[in-house]
């Protein structure tokens, strides 16, 4: 049962990251697309190291994959969790104060959000103008954006 639950989580993470089994396997040493398929169907257990790599590549938390076998529970507990999740989701949707929505992001989109959050105000403004098509991509703007991103990647 635990392997099946982990397999479902692996498949969900892979699909949300917009990766095929083959693309994911190519990025993990020692795994083939067939291995990924078997793991997703609960027919093969992966090592913690492999689960960590999958988590990193797909943009999910390592704990969500690694702890999945430890967190298996009875059907009643699972049903209760699902009911609680539905109530929370419904409450979020009906809340008049919450104006944000949930959406699934690819790993690349998650990285863009992280970089955007770390950027300074001027870079954020430039990026939004570019994405809206309000401003042409000039060399100076591109240089500013690339410099800011490079600084963030280097931890400055």
In the chain, where are the structural domains located?
2-66, 107-153
Q: Do residues 56 and 50 lie in contact, with contact meaning Cβ atoms separated by under 8 Å?
A: no
Whole-number pLDDT of residue 23: 93
Query: How many distinct helices (H) and strands (E) make up the chain?
Result: 9, 0
Q: How far, in Å, CA of 69 to CA of 51, rounded?
A: 12
| Structure-token pair, residue 24 | 């994911």
Quick: pLDDT tens for 107-140.
877 887 777 787 788 877 877 877 777 777 666 6
Pairwise pLDDT comparison (92 vs 19), residue with the higher score? 19
Question: Is 2-66 a CATH 1.10.260.40 domain?
Answer: yes
pTM for this entry:
0.45
Burial class (CB in 10 A: 0-12, 13-18, 19+), 107: middle
Quick: pLDDT tens for 4-14.
788 889 998 89
């Amino acid at each position: 049962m635990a392997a099946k639950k982990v397999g479902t989580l692996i498949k969900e993470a892979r699909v949300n990251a917009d990766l095929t089994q083959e693309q994911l396997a190519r990025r993990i040493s020692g795994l083939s697309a067939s291995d990924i398929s078997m793991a997703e169907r609960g027919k093969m257990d992966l090592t913690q190291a492999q689960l960590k790599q999958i988590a990193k590549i797909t943009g999910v938390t390592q704990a969500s994959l690694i702890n999945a076998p430890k967190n298996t529970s009875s059907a009643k507990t699972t049903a209760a969790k699902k009911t609680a999740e539905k109530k929370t989701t419904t409450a979020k949707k009906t809340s008049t104060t919450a104006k944000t929505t949930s959406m699934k992001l690819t790993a690349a989109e998650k990285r863009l959000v992280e970089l955007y959050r770390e950027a300074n105000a001027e870079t954020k403004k430039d990026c939004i103008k570019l994405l809206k098509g309000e401003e042409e991509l000039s060399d100076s703007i591109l240089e500013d954006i690339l410099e800011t991103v490079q600084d963030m990647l280097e931890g400055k």
